[in-house]
Amino acid sequence: MNDAYIIKGYRTAVGKAPRGFFRFKRPDELAAETIEFMINQIDGFDKSTIDDVIVGNAMPEAEQGLNVGRLISLMGLKIDDVPGVTVNRYCASGLETIAIAAAKIKSGMADCIIAGGVESMSFIPMGGYKPVPGYNIVSKGNEDYYWGMGLTAEQVAKDYNIKREDQDIFAFNSHQKALKAIEEDRFKNQIVPIKIDEIYLDNNNKKQTRSFNCNIDEGPRKDTSIEALNKLRPVFANNGSVTAGNSSQMSDGAAFLMIVSENYLKKLNIDPVARFVNYSVAGLPPKIMGVGPVKAIPKVLEKSNLKLNDIELIELNEAFASQSLAVLNELNINNDIVNVNGGAIALGHPLGCTGAKLSIQLIDEMQKRNLKYGMVTMCVGTGQGAAGIFEIL
C-alpha cells in the first residue's frame, strides 16, 4: 500500500464561545479562510488537482449544515472542481477526516485531500437545536446513551476515584502550560490570522467599524489559581467534582491539513512534514465515554507494531480533568509528554475541529523537539475513543 504524507497544516486561534472574538464569524467562513491561507503557502499550486475536501463537524446543522464540507470547498478554493463531504464522529471528527483521507490515499483512491474540521459553538448550541431522544431507548433504561458530557465526567470521577483536588491541580497546570506556550510563541507558525470587522457604537451613539486580527488563543487565563478553582461549584451533580474550571471550554475554531501520496509529493517537488501511521477507534459504555482512549490507544499501538514507550509526545484532548486523569492513570502514561503546551481546559475544545487542531499542534511541537512518533487521542460522545499516530520525517 501507499503511504499518506502531510505537507501542510494550519489552524485558527481558538475563540471562546459564545462571547469570544469569533462570536459573529460563520464557521464556513472560518474554515474557508483557513484553507485559502494554506493553499497560498504552496507556490504555483493547482487547486483542481485536489481530490476532495473532508470536513469534520460535531453539530452539522444551521450555519454549519447543508453539507458544510462542500460549501467550504467552494468558498475556500473558489473553484467548482473539488468536491466536499462532512464527517461526524463528535469530538474525534477532525481526526477521523485525517484517517479517512489517509486511507483513501493508501488504497490508491486519491492523491491529494484536504482534511480537518470546524466548529462554532457560538452559533450552534451543544447537542444542536432540536435533540430528539428515542423514547424506546430511554424507556429500556439506556438513558446514558443521551447523557451530556458533564454527567459522564462525573461518572468517570466516581468509577475511577478521581479526586476534586487532583482535577483542579490538573486544570491549573493546563492553563500554566498554555500561557507559557503563548508567551514563547510556540503556536505562532500554526495559526492563520483571521481578520474580524467589529461594529460598535461610539460615544455619539453612531455605528463604527474596527478591524483586528485574531491570532492568539483566547482561552488561557492568567488570573486563575488553584484556590480560585477550588471555590467553583460543581455544575453537573450535587456533591460532584466537575466544575466549569476543570472542564474544557466551549469554543470556536477551524483546522485543516493537506494529505498526499508519494507520487503527488514528487509532482510538487516538496518534502513532507509527517507520515500518518495508523488510526483506531473503540467503543465502551456511553456513561464512561471519557476513558475511551484507554481502549483506543492499545488498539492503534498493536496495529502499528509499536509500544507506548515508542510514543514520545501525546496530545490528549482534555474534555475534562477527571477523564484525562483516569486515562493517564489507567495506561500509566508519563505525564511529562502529555499536552506539553496545555490542553482543552485552557485552550478550548471546538468539537469537530479539535482532532485536526491537536494534530497540527503535535506535528509542530515534535518538529521543534526533533521527535519521531507522536499520538493524538480523545474520548468521544456516546461511548467511543479514538487514537491516531504520526511519524515526523
Nearest to 148 by CA among 231, 63, 233, 91: 91
Q: Which of 112, 214, 353, 379 is catalytic?
A: 379
Q: 149: number of CA atoms within 13 Å, CB side?
A: 27
Listed in sequence order, the residues at least 6 apart from 220 whose beta carbon sits closer than 8 Å to its beta carbon are: 175, 178, 179, 182, 342, 346, 347
Query: What angle (nearest 5°) sits at the alpha carbon of residue 24, between those of residues 8 and 52?
Result: 35
Q: Which of 91, 112, 214, 353 is catalytic?
A: 91
CA 274, 39, 316, 278 dihedral sign is negative
Q: Which of 112, 214, 349, 353 is catalytic?
A: 349
Q: 113: number of CA atoms within 13 Å, CB side?
A: 26
Give yes or no: 175 in active site: no
Question: Which ranges of 108-231 does DSSP label H, i.e. alpha helix?
Answer: 135-139, 149-159, 164-183, 226-230
Give yes or no: 91 in active site: yes
Cell 467562513 appears where?
A: 29
| Rounded Cα gap, residues 51 and 110, in angstroms | 6
Q: 226: number of CA atoms within 13 Å, CB side?
A: 8
| Rounded Cα gap, residues 55 and 39, in angstroms | 16
Residue spans of beta strands (DSSP E) within 193-337: 194-201, 207-214, 251-260, 274-283, 313-316
Cβ count near 78 (within 10 Å): 11
Is the bond preceding 298 in cis, omega lying within 30 degrees of 0? no
Catalytic residues: 91, 349, 379
